[in-house]
């Protein structure tokens, strides 16, 4: 078995793990990233695209912002639509900040490039990863290129997603998990066509929710609410475009084109309130999942690793363990607020199976109140741009 040592082992090479590596690197803290997939696979994953201003600031803090600043799209607001009638939430005037539209795929590429340029080790195709002695002197084992490897470390950061090994290794983690599964999914399509609007449109339609989003001035991302049991093979490009035109009120602004990617994702709210045990800490999707309606998944991962990095920096620079000891409480305070916002936006914009007349009337009353109330719009804007770290 080949053995080496580092200060922090990061399990998972998605945005959470990559961002944490850069936050540590700029402070001179050594780390190694273990990723079970290839680099090409990791970079190709199609995920989120709306960045809170706090996430943008973190990317600038680690100096991985050049391409984002050149190519990202600043959005000062978004549209809420109900049965074809739309009104705008003016983020900039209500909350004093904007959001940035820049795809998670691009962030992953930028962060990986930074790791290579700065000499932060990433082991791709790390198989059979196991975490050991997390209560004492932790170490991680894995297989790579047919050989067994061991890394001894001070701490382990579990950034390996909902299905990763990190949460499963944490004793009694399942007893601390809280979950809500929604009775529908999102069908997404990505196409190299101009967006239908310069801002995002969240539409509540009698046939179900729809979202007009984007990744650039020439690449669009659209979603429609569908049953979780549906198969993507049953949805041709033409069928998706027709459904989008119906739910978004096509007035000639939707440009159709061949799909680059199509997928159906189930929706759930999930929180593991046990985010640390001994020398193991969870961050990102390993600890929580939000419905994508509020654009919080990637941004919560960023705030988690910002808190975890602060704790590790305090430990290594000042011998202060308070930041690590308080990590879970600090992270959960922000996580539950983001969960609430994502849940409330989902409740507001989707048609639930078996929705009663009363429930629909309450939904419309809520939307009408938001339309007429600057205070209600301000609350939405503050949450959408991201609560302070």
| Residues acting as catalytic residues | 75, 202, 292, 296, 384
**Under DSSP, is residue 245 helix (H, G, I), strand (E, B) or coil?**
helix
8 near 27, Cβ under 8 Å? Answer: no
Angle between helices 15-25 and 297-318 (to 10 degrees): 30
| CA–CA gap between residue 38 and residue 22 (Å, rounded) | 20
Strand intervals (E) in 83-138? 85-90, 99-101, 122-124, 127-132
Strands 201-205 and 208-214: antiparallel
| CA–CA gap between residue 67 and residue 375 (Å, rounded) | 36
Strands 50-51 and 99-101: antiparallel
**Under DSSP, is residue 386 helix (H, G, I), strand (E, B) or coil?**
coil
Compute φ and ψ for 172, nearest 5 degrees.
60, 20
Maximum CA extent, the chain: 66
Structure tokens at 241: 């475009």
DSSP states of 196-212 as a string?
A: SSSS-EEEEETTEEEEE
- Rounding to the nearest 10 degrees, give the CA dihedral for residues 21, 26, 30, 34: 20
Tokens 């949460």 belong to: 167
- In sequence order, which ranges of 249-326 are alpha helices (DSSP H)? 297-318, 322-325
């Amino acid at each position: 078995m080949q053995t080496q040592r580092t200060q922090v082992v990061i399990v998972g090479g998605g945005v959470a793990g990559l961002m944490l590596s850069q936050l540590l690197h700029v402070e001179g803290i050594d780390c190694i990233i273990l990723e079970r997939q290839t680099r090409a696979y990791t970079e190709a994953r199609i995920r989120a695209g709306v960045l809170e201003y706090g996430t943008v600031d973190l990317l600038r803090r680690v100096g991985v912002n050049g391409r984002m600043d050149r190519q990202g799209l600043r959005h000062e607001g978004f549209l809420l639509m109900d049965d074809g009638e739309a009104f705008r939430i003016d983020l900039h005037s209500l909350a004093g900040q904007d959001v940035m539209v820049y795809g998670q795929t691009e962030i992953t590429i930028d962060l990986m490039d930074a790791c290579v340029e700065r000499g932060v080790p990433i082991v791709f195709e790390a198989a059979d990863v196991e975490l050991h002695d997390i209560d004492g002197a932790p170490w991680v084992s894995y297989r790579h290129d047919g050989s067994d490897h061991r890394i001894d470390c001070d701490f382990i950061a579990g950034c390996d997603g909902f299905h990763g090994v990190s949460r499963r290794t944490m004793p009694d983690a399942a007893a601390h998990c809280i979950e809500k599964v929604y009775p529908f999914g999102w069908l997404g399509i990505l196409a190299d066509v101009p967006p239908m609007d310069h801002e995002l449109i969240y539409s509540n339609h009698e046939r179900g929710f729809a979202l007009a989003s984007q990744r650039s001035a020439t690449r669009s991302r659209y979603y429609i609410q569908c049953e979780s049991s549906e198969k993507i093979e049953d949805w041709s490009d033409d069928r998706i475009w027709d459904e989008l035109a119906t739910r978004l009120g096509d007035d000639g602004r939707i440009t159709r084109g061949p799909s680059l990617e199509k997928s159906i994702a189930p929706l759930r709210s999930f929180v593991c309130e046990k985010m640390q045990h001994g020398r193991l800490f969870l961050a990102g999707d390993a600890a929580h999942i939000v419905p994508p309606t509020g654009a919080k998944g990637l941004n919560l991962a960023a705030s988690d690793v910002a808190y975890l990095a602060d704790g590790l920096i305090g430990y290594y620079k000042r011998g202060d363990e308070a930041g690590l000891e308080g990590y879970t409480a600090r992270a959960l305070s922000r996580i539950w607020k983001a969960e609430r916002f994502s849940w409330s936006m989902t409740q507001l914009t989707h048609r639930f199976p078996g929705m009663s007349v009363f429930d629909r009337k309450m939904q419309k009353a809520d939307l009408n109140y938001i339309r007429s109330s600057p205070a209600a719009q301000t609350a939405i804007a503050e949450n959408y741009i991201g609560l302070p770290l």
